[in-house]
Amino acid sequence: MNDLDKKIREALRQEDADALKEFDGELSIFEMLTETFRGRHRWLNILGMFWTLIFMGLAIYSAVQFFKVEIQRDMLMWAAAFLFCMSAVSMLKIWYWMEMQKNSVTREIKRLELQIARLAGRLEI
Q: Which amino acid is at 110?
A: K
Q: What is the pLDDT along the chain (125 residues), one digit of tens a residue?
A: 577 666 666 666 555 656 656 556 677 778 888 888 887 888 999 999 999 999 999 999 999 999 999 999 999 999 999 999 999 999 999 999 999 888 888 888 988 888 888 888 777 65
Distance CA 41, CA 22 (A): 24
Q: Whats the size of the chain, residue-wise?
A: 125
- Report helix, strand and coil shares of the chain as percent, to nearest 5: 85, 0, 15
Burial tier of 27 (Cβ tally within 10 Å: 0-12, 13-18, 19+): middle
Residues whose CB is less than 8 angstroms from the CB of residue 118 and which lie 6 or more positions away in sequence, other chains included: 12, 16, 19, 20
pLDDT at 9: 65
Quote the CA–CA distance of 28 and 63 in Å, as a whole number: 33
CA-nearest of 16, 5, 2, 14 to 119 is 16
Separation CA 46–CA 31 (nearest Å):
16
> With contact defined as beta carbons under 8 Å apart, do 45 and 99 qualify?
yes
Q: What is the pLDDT of residue 8?
A: 66
User: pTM here?
Assistant: 0.69
What does the pLDDT read at residue 39?
Answer: 78
> In this predicted structure, what is the pLDDT of residue 37?
82
